[in-house]
Amino acid sequence: MNNLKKSFVFGIFILIIILGINFVFAEKLEIQIENNYIPGENINFKLILYNDANIKIDGQINYIIQNYYSEIVKEGASNSGNEVVFNLPGNAIQGPWKISASYNNVKSNRLFNVGALEKAEITIEGDTLILKNIGNSVYEKKILIYIGEQDQTAQVSLEVGQEKRIRLTAPTGSYDIKVIEGNEEQPLEFKGVSLTGNVVGLERVLNTGKNFWQKYPAVGLFLGALLLVTIIIVIFKIKNKGMNIKIVNKNINRNKR
């Protein structure tokens, strides 16, 4: 029993020594990652610890991923040498991003670039074609729209996150709709779309993006507060003027007596 206890204590002692060696001799932290990525892609990277002899060692490494505006997009931890997979959102902000990694007092940073993605989501609701910019840059393309056998062209410009709608018209009936973006050969197809109208065509583009007050609610709040303060000041001045008139009238009445 005593021998078993001694063996257990010895094992714990050896483990502490091994962990202590890793702690003392972790001298370098490497971040292995490619330089360029496109939104929607997977980013595969490795965090690797080295001792003072430049030999790979084990250890759990903390990391954060920050976007172009230094906002933290992801936090996590990985064992040295393991591959980490991170999926870039489809609307990931274009520009340099950064991975920061740390293990005790050892730290490392690495930049990688997120490129531009000009992409729109195209759907149909009823007789309306809906285009929404789901990329990370301005979307500017000519859209070729086939209503049955006849084609129409629309020049579309969308800010990031903006949505526009195009109403499709044709003599009353059911039509197959095909949409081709720019020079892309593979069309989007929508079968059996019910349309009405006098002629085949595109009615008008309705901009359903946010208006100024929706985009900048703080401006509306500021102007509202400013208006409220102005009203209070005007009311206060009117009250003061009324009080002054009463005092003058009292003084006149006293003098008459």
Would you write out the chain's pLDDT as a tens digit for each of its 257 residues? 555 555 555 556 555 555 544 444 678 999 999 999 999 999 999 999 999 889 999 999 999 999 999 999 999 999 999 999 999 998 899 999 999 999 999 999 999 999 999 999 999 999 999 999 999 999 999 999 999 999 999 999 999 999 999 999 999 999 999 999 877 767 899 999 999 988 888 886 555 444 444 444 555 666 777 888 788 887 877 777 666 655 555 555 555 55
Distance of CA 19 to the CA centre of its chain: 41
From 114, 144, 169, give the residue that closes a domain: 114
- Residues 159, 139 share a domain: yes
Residue 238 has what pLDDT? 74
- Residues 47, 69 share a domain: yes
Flag whether 256 is in a domain.
no
- Residues 142, 56 share a domain: no
Flag whether 200 is in a domain.
yes
End-to-end alpha-carbon separation of the chain, Å?
118
Per DSSP, helices labelled H in the chain are 2-25, 212-215, 217-256
Residue 210 has what pLDDT? 47
How does DSSP assign 188-228, residue by residue? EEEEEEEE-SSSSEEEEEEE-S--HHHH-HHHHHHHHHHHH
Flag whether 235 is in a domain.
no
Residue 1 has what pLDDT? 53
CATH number at residue 85: 2.60.40.1930
Q: Can you give the residue range of the structural domain that contains 85?
A: 2-114
- Residues 25, 74 share a domain: yes
CATH number at residue 147: 2.60.40
Residues 6+ apart with CB under 8 A from 106: 26, 27, 28, 29, 49
Residue 215 has what pLDDT? 47
| Single-letter code of the amino acid located at 39 | P
- Residues 89, 30 share a domain: yes
State how far the alpha carbon of 167 is from the alpha carbons of 144, 172, 193, 197, 208, in Å: 14, 14, 12, 10, 13
- Residues 10, 93 share a domain: yes
Flag whether 251 is in a domain.
no
